[in-house]
Structure 1
Amino acid sequence: MPTGYTPIYRIYKGGADITGQFNDRTTQIKVELTSGAGDNDKLTIMVDDRDWCVQRPYGGESLQVWLGYLEIGLAYMGTFEIDDVTFLGKPRSIKLTGESAGMSSIQKAPTIREFDNKSVGDILGQFAGQTGLGVAISGDLAGKTIPFKNQMVSNYHMIHELERMFGAVAKIQDGKLVFAKRDGGESASGIAMPTLVLLPEHFGDWQVRYTGRPGYGEVKAAYFDKDEMVRKWVGSAIGGVSNLGGGGFGGAFNIGQLFNSKEEAESAAKSKGEGLKRAECQAFFDLAKGDPWIRDQQTLLVSGMRDGINGSYVIDKATHTYIKSTGIRSSLECKAPGDGADYAEASKEFMRPGPGEILGEYLRTHPNINPGDLSKGDIDAIVEAGDNR
């Protein structure tokens, strides 16, 4: 395995490789891969405009971006629509910022409509169809049925309301509306993602912070029973440990919304409980070597460090930054698994890069691992790069 790597990137526009237009000018490329919750993947490119000879860029253009290393290959970061162009000084530079392609087409204005006995797949398919987006829904989420729903908000808001109700990740990715189970360990296409195991040698700086427990043993949600014409309550234990009827410091957390069915209420209570569990621990890991093959929602097992650091995490946000003067940097923002899972016991498949080895190198030398297992995104570029070497 090489002891050093040469950072590279690739940029396409409209199917044409325009990397050559950036090579002498790009000082930084920053990609933020997020796990929904109202956020979408973001791109920032800083261009050196020292002599004012760079052709003026405009918003509305779509760029495909790869980051990686000459000795290994490239990891696909996504397709982004440039929505903001800023000219800066001093020094003279141009900043391009954008979000996942298709994000700008999601309706942000309030809409009034009714959904009667529609599934999540039906609703999201209708939203996507209005904008020309594709749809990728994982597992059994597409078949979840909502007896009745009044929409008085924007499509964008409605998507994230469904995200909260069903404990999902909703985001726009490569022109698709992705709706996947949060912390589910699977891609939107249902492919299991092996747990990534990292050792002390893989890290630069780190911070693991524990907050006080939420003070609740369960979450309760109410629904209206149309047969008996009464309000009823259902509960979901936090962290998978039964503590119904009390526990913690404050008993149950009550969701204020009244749901239309028992199934909706149960799903909402479970989703909220998982959210409270995730909030108990937050970790920030800067990797010793930038690794753009790591994605959001990747399950992570940290080993070889002390108690309080060792353990199971889910990557909530992965930020990969190409810096011309120093190379590639990767920062991971992680949370505890919402279901309290111990991946050392629960996971049947692991990816174990050696000390000092990055995931991209591990994948290249372990052809039995399908690159599609890594994330909901398309990172088959590493296979293509390996074939072309």
Structure 2
Amino acid sequence: IPQEIGKLSRLQTLVLRNNSFYGEIPRNISRCSKLIMLNLGRNKLKGNIPAEFASLNKLEEMHVFFNNLSGEIPSCFGNFSSIRLISLIANNFHGTMPDFLGKLGNLEILELTQNNLSGAIPALVFNLSSLRNLELSLNQLEGPIPSSMGFTLPKLEVFNLGANQLTGVLPASVSNLTNLQLFAVDTNNFSGEVPSFGSSQNLYWLGLGENCLGNGKLDGLLFMSFSQNCSALQLLQIDDNQFGGVIPRYFGYMSSLLYLTMSRHLIHGIIPVEISQLRSLQELSLQQNHLTGEIPDSIGEFELLNELHLNENQLSGKIPSCIGNLTMLTKLSLGANNLHGSIHPVSERSSFCPS
């Protein structure tokens, strides 16, 4: 990036994203004191963010995602009193999240995904009442989430803390997040019960997999009763927890669902026929549970299904001939059950599936 950019004293917007710029970020960009937006994303930049950027006190958007930048999150960010968006995704920033991030009162989007950040998330970050997107996945962050989160972040839409080392329980106050669209805390060490998301009618992504949620209780899936008011849900991923009980019949209300993965639990009982109402489903993964009964004929109504995993359960009976209707299927896993009979030819689209 040429040093001469620093001579552009009236510059308000600098967008150099999606190029092949390399080397360090020029320090004299700090002379562009009227800069409102700086977007250097998707380049090959390295080194630290210059401390001189503290003079950019009018900056509202800072994008340096997908580079090779390193060091700690610089203290100059604390001077960005007008900042609304910070995106540092996919770099090599390390150290802890500084407390001053929680003092940026206008901050709406904070994206620190895929770095090497560690330690606890500053409590002040959960008091940023303007925050809409908090994306901190793929780091080594630890500690609990404050129980008041659902009250202090009223505008929250995207909450992605997946693939960290977070512990504790999921706050019951998330039931107050009426604007929530994505909630992902998969691959952490959360335990206890799952709160209700009944107020989040725009929720389309719920990722809870690879935690210690559920405690093996027979009513472990009752939290999903919110699905009766959540027709927007497209992904429900709750694999590798400790949920018990049976698959609720109201799962059929999730008419927009594309991915349903709930493998490796203590779930028993039958596969309810109501699940056939999920006509848009592309993946159904129920393997390594304790499901019994037959594979329902209604399984053949998933005409868009790409993956079907029912292996390592206690299913019995024959493979329904209507499985031949699943012409989009690329992965079929039925091993380690009690199935019997012949394997039907599935090459013809005309295979009949009784309703």
Question: Smaller-chain TM-score range?
Answer: under 0.3
Structure with the bigger RCO (C-alpha within 8 Å, sep 6+) is: 1
Q: TM-score, normalised by structure 2?
A: 0.22
TM (norm. structure 1) is 0.20
More strand by share: 1
Q: Determine which structure has more spread, i.e. the larger CA radius of gyration.
A: 2
